[in-house]
Amino acid sequence: MEKENKTIELKGRYIFAAGRRKRAVAQVRMYKNGKGAMTINDKKITEYFPIAEYAQLVLTPLKLVGLEDKVDCSIIVRGGGKRGQAEAVRHGLARALIIIDKELKPALKAEKLLTRDPRRKERKKPGLKKARRAEQWSKR
């Protein structure tokens, strides 16, 4: 038997926002007047992020403003690991909420959900084992 992929067809006007973290980039489409449906790369949130901590991380901005059951979201996320992707989606959702209602900005900013975390992995330098790790020095 083939497993059916039951994705929700979202149509109409949407608000677009991009979220980033490390190497992960999330493209968020948020539809007003929804029922709380969220798909990430054509999968349900619990299917894409089986670790509950990551799913809760993603839903933080929606729960903070009380819109988790009032908007539908379609998200495409690429690059990075699962944690970076979850944080990129969270950043994109927070940015989309600002576009919907500018009054939400102080609440989201207080929780540091609008800040783009710029930290990335440093590149490896020639002659070193890692970015800064040199060969062990031997006196003799």
pTM: 0.85
pLDDT level of residue 8 (50, 70, 90 thresholds): low
CATH label, 15-110, candidates 3.90.870.10, 1.10.2020.10, 3.90.920.10, 3.30.230.10: 3.30.230.10
Q: What is the pLDDT of residues 48-107, one digit of tens each?
A: 999 999 999 999 999 998 888 888 999 999 999 999 999 999 999 999 999 988 999 999
Measured between alpha carbons, how far is 90 from 103 in angstroms, rounded to an integer? 18
Which residues share a beta bridge with 125?
none
Burial class (CB in 10 A: 0-12, 13-18, 19+), 24: buried
Contact (Cβ atoms closer than 8 angstroms) between residue 10 and residue 69: no
Residue 22 region by backbone torsions, left for phi larger than 0, else alpha for psi between -120 and 50, else beta: left
Q: Where are the domains of the chain?
A: 15-110
Neighbour tally for 95: CB within 10 Å = 23
Average of pLDDT values for 33-58?
91
β-strand pairing of 38-40 with 72-78: parallel
